[in-house]
A and B are shown apart, each in its own frame.
Chain A
C-alpha cells in the first residue's frame, strides 16, 4: 500500500475512488500515524477513531454500491477545535469549554462530511484563536514538525502541524488576522484565507466576527483549492455570507500566469524582517519574473496602522463574543457566593492570560467616552486600509508580501512580550482588515532549514487568481520539502 501520509488529497481521493486504496485502510494508517507521532507534535486535542472509521466504512460501502463519491471521499480531514462538530468535543483550546460537546455541526463541517471527508479529530490552537505561537492553548502547545523546539505558529498551529506531518490529508483552520497563513508559513504548507463572507461562519466559534474566516490548510495548492471549493458557498444561516456562485478553483491549477501583474508593496520587507525572509522574498520576485509575471511597485500608505486598528477592532468584538462563556449554560462553572461572584470565578479560572488581556482591551475600547476615540476611529482607518488595496489593485492583479517577518521561532522566545508576538501578523493583518483573500505558499527554506512563506493577495472574490499563481509558483520552484522527520 502506498503511504497515505505522503499523498496529496487529490491523489488519495482518486486512489480511493479507483479502489486502489480503501477509505478504511487510509483512515487506519492515519490514525496509526497520529498514535505514533502526535505524542510529540500534539496537533490533536481530540482524535475520533471510532467516528472516523465509521465514516470511512460508509465511503467504502458507497463505493461498493456504485454510488457517486464526493471529492473528498475517504480523505482524512482534521478540524481546528473552534469549529463545532456534533457529538465531538469542541473546546477552542480553552478550559472554559472543557468537555463541551456541540449539538450541531458547523457549516464547513457539514460540507466536508457531505463531500465524503473523514473527520479524524479536532486540532490544537491558541485559546479562542488568540495567538501566533500555539503557546496560548490551555491543553499544551502543538509543536512544529520541522523542529519540535519551535512553534508551529498560530492560532491554527495544530492544523498546520498536522498537515505538514501527514496527520491528516488536509485540515480546516480559521483566520482572523493571519491564523491560517502564518502557521502554514512556519510549517511549510499552503493555506488560503478566503474573502470575508465566501465561507459561512455558521458554527465557527467567534473570535472577531468581522474578520473571522475558515480556510483550508493543505500540502499543496491544488489540494487547498479543492478544499476551498468544498467549503465555499452561500449559507442562509450566516447573514454575512456572500451569494455569488463559487468558482472552479481547481481548474486554475496549470493555467498560464504570463502577463499577470504582480504588485510588490514598496518597502514591504523594511519592517523588522529576518534577512532570510528578505532574501527569500527577493528570490521569489525573480522567480515570478521568470514565470512571465510583470512586477509592479504599489503603495499601501495606511498599512502601518493595521496592527493598531486590528488590536482595537478584534478585541472589541471578542470582548462581546466571549461574554457568553459565563458558566450558566455550558462549559466550566466555578460556583461563587452569588451570581456576580460565580461569573468572576468562572471566567477567572476558565480563560487564559492572553484571552483575558484581549477581553480587557476590547471592553476598554468600547467603553463610554472611549468608543469614538478607539473603536470608531479604528473603523475609519480600516476603511482607508481597504481603499489602499482597491487603489493598488487598479495597477496589479495580485499583490505579494512575505507571510511573516520570520521563520518559526523557538518556544518562549516571544511569549513574554505581547507586542513582538503581535508583530508576527504585520503582513497578514491588512488583507484581513480589507476582507480580501490571501494565500500563503512556501517559497523556500531559511539557512536553519526552516520554511518561509509567501503571501499572495487578490481582490475580493478573486480566489481563482491565488490558486493560479500559487500553483504556478509552487510548480516552478518544485516545492516538495517535507519536515526532516516526515518519513
Chain B
C-alpha cells in the first residue's frame, strides 16, 4: 500500500476587537437581546451605505505586520453575492482580488520538527447574522442581526501543514499572537476565532496536490484534530480502494464522529464578486504602516525566548505564562515588583520564584474571559508575599494560607501576616533557646545522631517547630540545630 502525505491549509475567521461593527457604529457586544444592536446599515435597509471602521483596518494591519505580511496601500472591498437570510443585503462585503495584506509566515514546531506556514492573505470582511433554526413551532427560523456586520479578518494559510497536530499547533500559535496584539479575544466558545480546514492527501513524493475537501464546523482545537484525522483516514480509504476524492465541502458531525458531505464543487455557488461601488479603494499610507509596525508589542515567541534566557524559566513554564497576554503582563509585573522589594535576588531567581508561585497558586483562581483575565490578587501582592518568604518572615507553606486570606479580605500580605502574628521567628537566640531545650530533653536521639543516624535531624526540627508553635524560620532552625549538634561534646 502506498504511503500518503497529508496536506492541510487553514482559513481562520478572527473577530476584531473593535467596539463597533465594520461598516456602522453598532456595538458588537456579545449576548445582547436579539436585534438590539442594529441600524439601517447592518440591517441592509434600502438606502443605507457602509463606511469602513478605521479601527478594524488598523487591527487587521497590526496582525498582518506581526505575521510578516505585506500591507497593500490600496486594497479593494468586493461584494460576495449569495442569497441567505443571515445576509441582510444578500451580499457580504469582503475583499477578493486585492486584499489588505498578503504573503506572511508563521513557523510552528511539533515534536522538534519546525514547519514554515505561508500566510497567503489576511483580508477584512463583515460577519453574517445568526440564524436560530427550529424557533416557534419548530419549523421557523429566526434571525438575530446583532452579529451582522461585525468586523472579521480572514487569515488564509497555504497548503503547508502536514498533520492534524501541526494544524492544531498553528491555530494555537496564531490565536496566541492575535491575543497578544489585542486584535482578537481568542474566544472559541463565542465564535470569535473560527476555522475551516482544506484537507487533501497525496502519495509521498508527489508534487501535485490532491483533490481537497473543505471541512466546516470545527470550532474547537479538539474538533480540528478529530475532523482532520477522520478526513485523512477517509480519503486514504477511498484512494487506496481505487476511488477518487470529489472536491466538496464537508461538515464535522461530532455526534457521529464523522465528516459528512455538505455540497459538491458542482453545487458550489457563483458569488459574482465585484468591487463594491459604495466603497472607494481602501488607502493606507506608508507612514501608517510604519507607525503600526513600530508599535508592535513583543510577540509570544520572543517572550518565551526571553523568559528562558533572562528569567531562568523552563520551556513549559514560559509556554504557560505567555499563553495569555494578561498573564504574561502579570508575571512580568510581579517579577519586577519582587526585584524591587528583594534586591538581593537575581532576576533568574526572582523569575523562577514568581513563575512557580503564579503557576501553582495564583492561576488556579484565575478566570479568563477573552482578553480579560480576572486574577485573585494584584502583582504587587504576589511580590510582597514572595518578599516576605524571601526575608524569612513567613514560610513558603504559610504563603499559601496568607494568599487565601489576601484573596478573601483584600488586605495586603504584610497586613495579614502582622494581624495574624504569623511572622516567623528569625531571632536566632529564641531559636537557640528552644533548640537547646529540645536537645537536652532528647539525649538518646542526640547520641543516635552523633553515631551517624543523621536522619533524626527531621525529628529535632519538628520538635523545635512544635515548641515554637510553628513560627520558627525552618531554615534557621536547621542551621541552629546543626551548629548545636556539632558543638556538643
Q: Which residues of B contact A102 (CB under 8 A)?
A: 40, 45-47
How big is the B interface, by class?
20 to 34
Q: Which residues of B contact A168 (CB under 8 A)?
A: none
Contact indicator per residue, chain A 173-205, by CB within 8 Å of chain B (1) or not (0): 000000000000000000000000000011111
Cβ–Cβ contact A375 & B274, under 8 A: yes
Cβ–Cβ contact B48 & A320, under 8 A: no
Given contacts A367-B272, A371-B274, contact A103 B51 (CB under 8 A): no
Cβ–Cβ contact B88 & A202, under 8 A: no
Cβ–Cβ contact A206 & B47, under 8 A: yes
A202 to B43 Cα, complex, angstroms:
14
Contact indicator per residue, chain A 332-344, by CB within 8 Å of chain B (1) or not (0): 0000000100010
B55: interface (CB < 8 Å):
no
Contact indicator per residue, chain B 32-55, by CB within 8 Å of chain A (1) or not (0): 000000001001111111111000
> Chain A's nearest CB lies how many Å from the CB of B124?
14
User: Contact check: which of B44, B51, B81 meets A239 at CB < 8 Å?
Assistant: B51
How big is the A interface, by class?
35 or more
Cβ–Cβ contact B47 & A203, under 8 A: yes
A330 to B52 Cα, complex, angstroms:
25
Q: Which residues of B contact A240 (CB under 8 A)?
A: 277-280
A271: interface (CB < 8 Å):
no
Minimum CB distance partner of B282 in chain A: A239
Given contacts A324-B88, A339-B85, contact A104 B40 (CB under 8 A): yes
A84: interface (CB < 8 Å):
yes
> Chain A's nearest CB lies how many Å from the CB of B266?
13
User: Contact check: which of A210, A238, A320 meets B49 at CB < 8 Å?
Assistant: A238
A343 to B48 Cα, complex, angstroms:
22
A90: interface (CB < 8 Å):
yes
User: Contact check: which of A210, A320, A330 meets B45 at CB < 8 Å?
Assistant: A330
Given contacts A324-B88, A366-B274, contact A106 B47 (CB under 8 A): yes
Cβ–Cβ contact A201 & B274, under 8 A: no
B365: interface (CB < 8 Å):
no
Cβ–Cβ contact B51 & A100, under 8 A: no
Most A CB contacts (10 A, CB to CB) among B143, B277, B280 go to B277
CB neighbors of B among A385-403 (8 A): none
Given contacts A320-B81, A343-B83, A366-B81, contact A100 B46 (CB under 8 A): yes
Minimum CB distance partner of A323 in chain B: B90
A244: interface (CB < 8 Å):
no
Given contacts A323-B89, A323-B90, A339-B85, contact A84 B272 (CB under 8 A): no
CB neighbors of A among B359-381 (8 A): none
CB neighbors of A among B305-359 (8 A): none
Contact indicator per residue, chain A 295-337, by CB within 8 Å of chain B (1) or not (0): 0000000000000000000001101100111101110000000
- The residues of A with any CB-CB pair to B shorter than 8 Å are 83-84, 90, 92, 97, 100, 102-104, 106, 201-206, 208-210, 236-240, 316-317, 319-320, 323-326, 328-330, 339, 343, 363, 366-368, 371, 375
6 residue pairs A–B, Cβ–Cβ below 8 Å? A83-B47, A102-B47, A203-B48, A316-B274, A323-B83, A368-B270
- The residues of B with any CB-CB pair to A shorter than 8 Å are 40, 43-52, 79, 81, 83, 85, 88-91, 143, 270, 272-274, 277-280
